[in-house]
Amino acid sequence: MAQSNVAGWTGAGDSGSQPVSPRPLIESDRVEGTAVFGADNSHIGTIKRLMIDKVSGQVAYAVMSFGGFLGLGEDTFTIPWSKLDYEPDLGGYKTDIAPESVKAAPDFYREGDYQWNDREHERRLHDYYGVSPYWGI
């Protein structure tokens, strides 16, 4: 998947150059709770929170919730932001990651208060998903 703009198209997607959204910015609380769809357009989860690099301001990860009911019994999984593309027709984000792959990903956020300072752990997550780390190499 292409590096995605939070609320619009970047023109870097697989389908070629696309127009920039008339509203290129969005509030983070509006992204939280947004649906995530799989390659077949089926709903696979919801964005629970965004993890933003303090220095660059770049969104690094989406922490997604799967399953559960009213927040009970849900699982949370962290995926690199670059694996999501906003799809206006769906009103949510789309990924090429299969739900089974997300659930088999390296454990990253599930403890709740994960210390986000372990670059090697982050690198394993990026390697698993086959994307370059947001901070470069």
The predicted-structure confidence for 73-123, as pLDDT tens digits, reads as follows 678 888 999 999 999 999 999 999 988 888 888 776 555 556 677 788 888
- Non-local (6+) Cβ contacts of 88 within 8 A are 21
**Cα–Cα distances in angstroms (integers) from residue 136 to residues 119, 126, 133, in the given order:** 11, 11, 5
The predicted-structure confidence for 41-72, as pLDDT tens digits, reads as follows 999 899 998 999 888 889 999 998 877 666 56
Q: Identify the residue whose tokens are 């849900």.
A: 74
For the entire predicted model, the pTM comes to 0.74
- Non-local (6+) Cβ contacts of 41 within 8 A are 90, 94
The predicted-structure confidence for 122-131, as pLDDT tens digits, reads as follows 888 899 999 9
- Look at the chain and count its residues: 137
Contact of 96 with 84, CB cutoff 8 Å: no
Q: Which tokens in the block code for residue 101? A: 């792959």
7 falls in which pLDDT band (50, 70, 90)? Answer: very low
Task: Describe the chain by its helix, strand, coil percentages, rounded to 5.
Answer: 15, 25, 60
